[in-house]
Structure 1
Amino acid sequence: MGTAKAGTPVDAAATSRKGAGWRGIPSGIWALGFVSMLMDVSSEMIHALLPLYMVTVLGASTLAVGIIEGIAEATASITKIFSGALSDWLGKRKLLAVLGYGLAALTKPIFPLASTLDWMVAARFIDRIGKGIRGAPRDALVADIAPPELRGASFGLRQSLDTIGAFLGPLLAIALMWLTADHFPTVFWVAVVPALLSVVVLLVFVREPERKDGARPVRMPLRRSELARLGASYWWIVGIAAVFTLSRFSEAFLILRAQSLDLPLAMVPAVLVLMALAYSLSAYPVGVLSDRMNRVGILIAGLLLLVFADVVLAFSTGMASLAVGVVLWGLHMGFTQGLLATLVADVAPADLRGTAFGMFNLVTGLALLAASVLAGALWDAIGPEATFLAGAAFASVTIVGLLAVRGRIGAKA
């Protein structure tokens, strides 16, 4: 399932697509990217303000924010394993993607209507269930549509468009907070519109490839014998990603770090704008680069960026150092997130891609839960320095692990 090695014959169409760059990427990948972008505009308008809303308006503690964020993301990840396996069993990915995006869109009005922490937590969890339903089938759909020789570029493009939404959302949140004198519910109501548009784009512009004639049916994707078919390279990737995820807790802590340095309330979402801008500008070029050179070497570079980001954020004393740390954090995301998805697509059998992405997201989601709870506990007990230095330590351990197992992760590693 890996990308063709140097010297391996490839057909003329493949060579033409690779030479065409971004123009060779199928329209379905672009459409999925715009779907992700619109939903991220909506989600990040809310997410950019939600930690502050929970702490300053609803009276939650920092530890509670960490627990809520961690459990919410873990809920999404647990859901992904079942939706991914179901997409393999049905041989249909788009149906589940529509269901997931639709559920997330329908829950957005709960945020402006919620008057207690319980309602806010319920809305956050339901929204993450929608993310869980769509996540693995969507990633498997990208792998199904993308030409193998443009797989890294395709995942990078989708990730870049997704992350454009991740900085447009906070930017809109800043503008609306300024226009409405910090009225959170108004921002939450506006966020409903792009969520609904994302579902429309998915329904109209994304076409799912037909399953090939004679393709092996997958009856029980989560059965041990099927999981064993994923192979040793896949499980090494999952293990490394789990340790890595312990080092990259929820971005909510970037927002709280900005608040701890006395950034004005209406400007706090600028942290996510800056991070997402660095992320979106780097994800596609890194994806293209990964189609041409060693993927694990690029992943190690991304981890080094995270180590530097954590150290800078741990010792930040003003806005300049905060901005440097946030940009480095965004660059590490651009260097790693699409690349990890590409590595999974490289090694997973085509008929088990949904299950492979689902299991990958389950394991990393549970790691994110642990990371966010630990980050919140360290913050409350010691301070933000301890939170970010612990992240740097886990990232360093991941680099050592990658160097030790890089030969076991497939041809492009």
Structure 2
Amino acid sequence: MYLADSRSTDSGGTEAAVVPDTRPGRRPTAVPATVLALGAVSLITDVSSEMVTAVLPLYVVAGLGLSPLGFGLLDGINNGVGALVRLAGGHLADRGGRRHKVVAGLGYGLSALCKPLLLLAHTLPVISAVLAVDRTGKGLRTAPRDAMIALATEPGRRGRAFGVHRTMDTTGALLGPLVAFAVLRATVDGYDAVFAVSGCIAAFGVLVLVLFVPRRISARADAVRQPERRHPAPGDALGQPEPVRPPTLRDAVGLLRRPRLRRLTVCAALLGLTTVSDSFLYLLLQREANLPAHLFPLLPLGTAAFFLLLAVPLGALADRVTRRRLFLAGHGVLLLAYGLVLSPWHGAPAVVAVLVLHGTFYAATDGVLAAATAGVVPARQQGAGQALVGTGQALARFACSLAFGAAWSLWGGRTALTVTAAALAVSAVVAAFLLRTADEAPLAIDEVRA
């Protein structure tokens, strides 16, 4: 039979684990209810977050007088904080006996609390503190959430499951700015109204998490069959499996000793170092295409729209052609987008083509990377594994943003993007070489128990 986790809870009772139904004659569910519930939570939370994101730059720069450079540094620091906290979130979720929902709930709760606090923040230090807490919440919840998706889904369907989740998440990202726009138009004191409505929506997202996401989620290991035992193994009591200690911080860091996870982490970070931030890419696209300034806010919505359309089909494709290949192909698509921005082809068709490629890049890499990580990490350390890969990629992209901004200041935007595109091509070749043996084969028995 497949390995499964059905340990007792701390209170002494036994709580049924949420596992895929793989009994003979039963057709596995394409997308488990747990994934749909987490997708709903992400959708609602993203509506709340993107409402604030849509108005915060103007509020801070125009309302409080912070320079654009100062806001950029503030945003970068806060994103860095979130990336580092992600490691703690993944480890705490695993350490607590797979209490991923508790840690994720803490993260969602912190972010929800920050929205009404913005009503009281009128100075830069206070706003910085509130945003830091918000990013801490995002960092805490990301790895446990992805771990729950991986644990609740059959290994062969994880690409589709992450694609469905990212589609719902992106739907929230599309709706958030529209809701903020409607609130601003309908109220007199617009910013405060946006923050208040955002807080109420975020609280609703936490409520959905509490009511509809199971407290403990367990999944069967990656198609690993356990040999039959005719006699109890040494150390087992009456044939029962011996207790497994919670993973320590040393165990979490020790995951990098696994060759497949180490290669995946290195490749995600390497490619992240050559991934230009969305803001810089949109600025270059607007300048190269001579796009009117009032149309600039539509560029992120264009990327999100194509991401939403392609996340599920490309996630399903990743389950068939292996996720590492699609992850590399996605960066090839991003390289094409860079080429189009630098090409002499301008006008509306060129802008749309770049947005299509940009959305395709995210659809082929975001959830696909999480699904690939789930395939090379033991079930009991899914949180820590997701955190290691995600943090490596996030910090690398943050470093790329700093380096690209400096290069733009020194050489100009076109030259900076040309150099980055060349570096991306080299990084993709190196990543393909490193991942050539990183097939998503089932984990060995000792790896699952480790």
TM range (shorter): 0.7 to 0.9
**Given that residues 330 and 364 in structure 2 are in contact (C-alpha distance below 8 angstroms), is that contact kept between their aligned partners in structure 1?**
yes
Letter in 1 for 2:297: P
Write the mapping of 1:202-281 to structure 2, written as runs, cut at 5 A: 202-209=209-216, 214=241, 217-223=244-250, 227-228=254-255, 231-254=258-281, 256-257=283-284, 263-265=292-294, 267-281=295-309
Distance 1:380 1:112 in 2: 35
Worse overlay, 392-401 or 326-335: 392-401
Worse overlay, 382-391 or 143-152: 382-391
Structure 2 length-normalised TM: 0.79
- TM-aligned CA deviation for residue 83 of structure 1: 1.5
Q: Rate the CA distance shift 1:230–1:134 in 2: closer, same or farther, 3 A.
A: farther
Asked if residue 45 in structure 1 is aligned to residue 51 in structure 2, the reply is yes
Letter in 2 for 1:367: A
Equivalent residue for 1:195?
202
Which residue of 294, 308, 328 maps to 2:322?
Answer: 294
Equivalent residue for 1:3?
none
- TM-aligned CA deviation for residue 123 of structure 1: 2.4
Letter in 2 for 1:280: L
Letter in 1 for 2:437: R
Write the mapping of 1:93-242 to structure 2, written as runs, cut at 5 A: 93-177=100-184, 183-209=190-216, 214=241, 217-223=244-250, 227-228=254-255, 231-242=258-269
- TM-aligned CA deviation for residue 49 of structure 1: 3.5
Unaligned runs of 5+ in 2: 1-20, 220-239, 443-450
Worse overlay, 253-262 or 274-283: 253-262
Q: Rate the CA distance shift 1:311–1:221 in 2: closer, same or farther, 3 A.
A: farther
**Given that residues 171 and 270 in structure 1 are in contact (C-alpha distance below 8 angstroms), is that contact kept between their aligned partners in structure 2?**
no
Letter in 1 for 2:270: V
User: What are the Cα deviations for residues 122-154 of structure 1, in whole angstroms up to 9, with x where unaligned?
Assistant: 222211100011111111111111122211111
**Given that residues 93 and 138 in structure 1 are in contact (C-alpha distance below 8 angstroms), is that contact kept between their aligned partners in structure 2?**
yes
- TM-aligned CA deviation for residue 89 of structure 1: 1.2
Distance 2:164 2:38 in 1: 10
Distance 2:408 2:196 in 1: 31
User: What are the Cα deviations for residues 190-227 of structure 1, in whole angstroms up to 9, with x where unaligned?
Assistant: 32232111101100000034569848634453216861
Letter in 2 for 1:139: D
Distance 2:355 2:165 in 1: 22
User: What are the Cα deviations for residues 53-98 of structure 1, in whole angstroms up to 9, with x where unaligned?
Assistant: 4444444445434433332222111111111111111111100011
Which residue of 23, 28, 36 maps to 1:30?
Answer: 36
Unaligned runs of 5+ in 1: 1-9, 18-22
Who wins on radius of gyration, i.e. which is larger?
2
Distance 1:192 1:357 in 2: 28
Equivalent residue for 1:20?
none
Letter in 2 for 1:248: T
**Given that residues 81 and 358 in structure 1 are in contact (C-alpha distance below 8 angstroms), is that contact kept between their aligned partners in structure 2?**
yes
The structure richer in helix per residue is 1
Q: Rate the CA distance shift 1:149–1:183 in 2: closer, same or farther, 3 A.
A: same
Distance 2:281 2:434 in 1: 31
Equivalent residue for 2:397?
368
Worse overlay, 149-158 or 250-259: 250-259
Q: Rate the CA distance shift 1:96–1:359 in 2: closer, same or farther, 3 A.
A: same
- TM-aligned CA deviation for residue 157 of structure 1: 0.9
Worse overlay, 302-311 or 207-216: 207-216
Q: Rate the CA distance shift 1:331–1:55 in 2: closer, same or farther, 3 A.
A: farther
Asked if residue 337 in structure 1 is aligned to residue 356 in structure 2, the reply is no
Which residue of 85, 88, 99 maps to 2:91?
Answer: 85
SS at match of 1:114: coil
Distance 1:196 1:276 in 2: 24
Equivalent residue for 1:303?
331
Q: Rate the CA distance shift 1:274–1:134 in 2: closer, same or farther, 3 A.
A: same
SS at match of 1:347: coil
User: What are the Cα deviations for residues 366-403 of structure 1, in whole angstroms up to 9, with x where unaligned?
Assistant: 21221222233234444443454444234323311222
Equivalent residue for 1:5?
none
Q: Rate the CA distance shift 1:52–1:15 in 2: closer, same or farther, 3 A.
A: farther
Percentage identity across paired residues of the two chains: 33
Letter in 2 for 1:98: G
**Given that residues 295 and 412 in structure 1 are in contact (C-alpha distance below 8 angstroms), is that contact kept between their aligned partners in structure 2?**
no
**Given that residues 104 and 140 in structure 2 are in contact (C-alpha distance below 8 angstroms), is that contact kept between their aligned partners in structure 1?**
yes
Distance 2:159 2:353 in 1: 27
Instruction: State the number of aligned residues.
Output: 398
- TM-aligned CA deviation for residue 337 of structure 1: 0.6
- TM-aligned CA deviation for residue 162 of structure 1: 0.7
Q: Rate the CA distance shift 1:14–1:243 in 2: closer, same or farther, 3 A.
A: farther
User: What are the Cα deviations for residues 157-206 of structure 1, in whole angstroms up to 9, with x where unaligned?
Assistant: 11111111111112333444555699444433332232111101100000
Structure with the larger RCO, 1 or 2 (CA within 8 Å, 6+ apart)? 1
Distance 1:216 1:288 in 2: 36
Q: Rate the CA distance shift 1:188–1:324 in 2: closer, same or farther, 3 A.
A: farther
